[in-house]
Amino acid sequence: MAIDRSSEFPSGVCTARSNWQVVGGVWKPVDPTSMLSGACIYAVHFKNGDRNIIVQPQDASDSNFLALKADFPEAFASAEIVDGLSQDDMSALWSSYPEDVLFDLATPVFSLPLVPREQTAEGVDITPGPDPTPLPPELQELIFRTSK
C-alpha cells in the first residue's frame, strides 16, 4: 500500500502551481524566478532516499535564487545543487504524490503546487514508500522519452 502523504505536500497554504518541463535532459521549473520570492514559491528542495538535492533555475546567479540561498544556508550547504530532477526523481515524485503532479500528456510539461517558502529548509520528501504507486505507461513514456 502506498504511503498517504497528502497531509505533507502540499501544505494547503499555497494555491498557485509551477510549471516544469524537460530542459537539457532534466525536469526543471520554467516559471520566472520571481516565483522564488514571497511566501509561496515553486519547490526547489527534494529528498529521494539518500539524495538531497536543490534544483537551481537556469540562471543560478538570479537574485531571487541567491536570496533563497541566503535565507536557508543549512539546506543549501547540505544539498547537491542540480540542474533539474532526473528521470528517477520524476518517477519518485509522481509515485509519492500522484494527485499533486499534473501532467499535460500533449506536451512534456507538468505542474506542481507551490510550497511555503519555509519548506525549503526541510525539502519535499519524494522517496517512494515500500509499495509505490506504479507509473502509468503513458507517463513513463513521457518522462523517459523526453528526458533523453
| Rounded Cα distance, 102 and 58, in Å | 22
Q: Is the pTM of this model over 0.85?
A: yes
Q: How far is CA 40 from the centre of its chain?
A: 14
Share of the chain above pLDDT 90, in %: 59
| Residue ranges of domains in the chain | 17-146
**The pLDDT value given to residue 30:** 92
**The pLDDT value given to residue 123:** 94
| Rounded Cα distance, 91 and 95, in Å | 6
pLDDT tier for residue 2 given thresholds of 50, 70 and 90: very low
Determine contact, residues 82/138, Cβ cutoff 8 Å.
Answer: no
Residue with cell 546567479: 61
Top-confidence range, 1-10, 101-110, 114-123 = 114-123
